[in-house]
Amino acid sequence: VSWLEKTKETVASEAVKHVKDGFIVGLGSGSTAAYAIKELGRLICQDKIQVKGIPSSSQAKKLAVNAGIPLTTLDEHPLIDLVIDGADEVDKELNMIKGGGGALTREKIIASASKQVVIIADEKKFVEKLGSTFKVPIEVLDFAFVTVFKEIEDLGGLPVLREGNGKVGPVVTDNGNYIIDVDFGPINKIKDLNQELKLLPGVIETGLFIDLADIVYLGKRDQITKLEK
């Protein structure tokens, strides 16, 4: 097992320590969040704590079912106690780019509905400015994607339609939409950019997660750094 996989497991275990008996827990997506789902399942089975999960994607749902985590919905629990999720980039203010796994819309809804958001990632995800190493994923209605493409170019971005592996053509999200990955370069005014993008008709959600994370555990080779709001 590589140090990277080990570190993902370590930060995931650290995050799961925030879970208390009776909690409704938002389950993030991606390879790091997958370790947290596994660990939470182990805790539920071994320590018999009463926890219910709300998955942010079909991936998280499948993992949670396999791990033995009872599931619930936002309809039943519009207020969540804790979300554990990964990230593609994190800055020192704990703002993030997310959506590498295409689950950004549900992830953002769950994070916004949660009392506490704990993010887990390896140190390579930490950047001075968002947009330095990762493009901004944007979920768009397929009907609108060519128009949105043009408008994003007018905003100075370089958009690429996300295509799948194992299927020709665009990636279709769990919500039935397309994903556009946009290279804006290092972003100076993330709030302004997020607002401009959200105003484009056809844009469902952006991968810019601003003021949502409370704690970030960053895994390094031999230690974990905890960043807090």
Considering the complex, what minimum distance in angstroms separates the CB of residue 99 from ligand 5RP?
5
210, 130 Cβ separation under 8 angstroms: no
135 or 151: CB nearest ligand 5RP: 135
Residues engaged in binding ligand 5RP (CB under 6 A): 28-33, 85-88, 98-104, 107
CA distances from residue 162 to 37, 180, 191 in whole angstroms, order as listed: 26, 6, 24
130 or 151: CB nearest ligand 5RP: 130
65, 55 Cβ separation under 8 angstroms: no
Considering the complex, what minimum distance in angstroms separates the CB of residue 217 from ligand 5RP?
12
Considering the complex, what minimum distance in angstroms separates the CB of residue 34 from ligand 5RP?
8
69 or 151: CB nearest ligand 5RP: 69
Catalytic residues: 107
15 or 69: CB nearest ligand 5RP: 15
What is the DSSP track for 178-205? EEEEEE--S-S-HHHHHHHHHTSTTEEE
127 or 151: CB nearest ligand 5RP: 127
With CA atoms as reference, report the closest residue to 64 among 29, 108, 88, 99: 29
Detail the DSSP E strand segments found in the chain.
Answer: 24-27, 52-55, 80-85, 89-90, 96-97, 114-122, 136-140, 158-161, 178-183, 203-206, 208-209, 215-219, 224-228
CA 182, 31, 118, 127 torsion: positive or negative?
negative
- Exposure of 75 in the CB half-sphere (CA atoms within 13 A): 1
| Backbone torsions φ then ψ of 89, nearest 5 degrees | -145, 145
User: Which positions ≥6 away from 50 have C-beta within 8 Å?
Assistant: 21, 22
Considering the complex, what minimum distance in angstroms separates the CB of residue 120 from ligand 5RP?
8
